[in-house]
Structure 1
Amino acid sequence: MSNLRIISKEPADPVTSASSRLALLASLNCDGRHGLALIAAVAVLLLPLAGGAELAGWLRWSRPGLADGQWWRLAGAHIVHLDARHALLNAAGLALLWALFARSFRPRQWILAVLLIIAAVDAGLWYFSPRVQWYVGASALLHGVFSCGAVAMIRGGERLGWVALVVFAAKIAWEQWQGPLPLSEGPVITDSHLYGAAGGVVAGLLLRPRRERIY
C-alpha cells in the first residue's frame, strides 16, 4: 500500500506581500503621492473628452485664434485630442514615461520643464511652421518629457541615456525627412515633435536632476 504525502503550502506572509506590492509600485513611480499625481495627470488628458468637439475647438492651438488674442489656446491645445483613441494613446504614453522618469526631477522642476516644453512647442509652431493653422494633442509635450528624462539620465552618468537620446533623435530626424512613422493615425504635425523634443533637451540641461533613484 503506497503512502500518500500531503504537502501543505504555507500561507503567504501578508506583510511580505504588501511590501512586494509597494516595491513594485515604487519601481513604477506609482507609489504614494506619485501615484495620485499620475492619476491626476491622466485625468487632465481624458476629462476634456467629455466636452466633445466643441471644447476641443475652443481649446485647440489656432493661428487665427491666437492672432485675435485667445491666449488660453497656448496651454489648452496640449490637453485636448482628435478623438478618444488619440487621448488614450497619449495617456498610455504618459504612464510609460512616468514609470521611467517621474523621479528624475522634483515635482516643481517637472512643472517648470512642462511649461518650458509647452512654450517651445507653441513658439515653434507660431514662428517656424507658418503653414500650421491648428494643433491638438499631448504628443509634442510627451516627446519633450522623454528627451528631458534622457538628458537627466546622461547627467546622472547612465550610458543608457545616450542610447535613448540617439534613438530618439533618429526618430525625430526620420519624421522630418520622411514624415510620420508607419501606423501613425490621423494628421500628425511632426514639427511639433521636433519643437517638443528640443524644449525637453533645454529643460533637462537647465534643471538639476535628482541624485537619488529607486530603480
Structure 2
Amino acid sequence: MNMAFEDPNADTEWNDILRKKGILPPKETTNEEEEEEASVLQQQSVVKTYEDMTLEELEENEDDFSEEDERAIELYRQQRMAQWQASQIKNKFGEVVEISGQDYVQEVTKAGKDLWVILHLYKQGIPLCTLINQHLAALARKFKDIKFLKAISTTCIPNYPDKNLPTIFAYLDGEIRAQFIGPLVFGGMNLTQDELEWKLAEAGALKTELEENPRKQIQDQLMSSIRTTISSKRDSDSDDD
C-alpha cells in the first residue's frame, strides 16, 4: 500500500497545525517571500527610526529617506505637529499672572473660547489673601490649561470693600460662572490647597482627582474624635459609680 505524504511546504490548514505542533519542519521561504519579509522589516526599521526623531531631526535627515518613506514621514510629521500644538495649548499657562484694571478686558473678557479664567481679587496685608495666592500658584502649576490671574481689588473695581476679600471669580468664555466672596466662604486661614481645588472643581473650572470634599474628611475626623471623647467620659463616669 502506497502512502502519499503532503508537501511540508504546502499551504494547507493541516500542515499549519502540524508545524505548530513541531511535527513538520518550518516552511521554507522562497526568494520572493524573503525579499518581501526583508522589505517589511526595512519599512518597520524606518518607521521606528523616524518615530523616535524630533521634528527638527526629521528635517535634518529627510534626504536619507525614499520617496515612499517621505510620504509616510510627512503624515507622521503632521501628526506630531498637531500633538505638539495641542500640548502647547494645554500647557500654555502654569503660573498666576498679576493684572490691573486696564488688562481686564484683554485678559478675561477676550481670553479665548472654552477657556477657564480664575481671577483672585486681593489686597496686600490680608493673611487669607496671601494664603490663597500661595494655593493658586500651586494649582496653576498643576492645571496648566487654566488661566490663573490675580489683581489688587481696587485696581479692577474702584472702592471694592475689603470685607469682601478675598474674592475669586471663575470665568468661562468671558462670563462669570462662579464666585467666592469673603473669608467665610473659604473657611478662614484653615483653608487647604485641596479644599480650594475642590471648590473650583465644583464650579466646573477644573477636573480634580480628589474623590470627596477634603473639608468633609476633616469634619468626619473631628466628629469621630468627639464621639471617642464622649464614649471615654461615659466609661469613666460608669467606673466611678
Shared fold per TM-score greater than 0.5: no
**TM-score, scaled relative to structure 1:** 0.34
Q: Highest Rg: 1 or 2? A: 2
- Greater strand content: 2
Q: Which has the higher contact order (CA 8 A, sep 6+)?
A: 1
**TM-score, scaled relative to structure 2:** 0.31
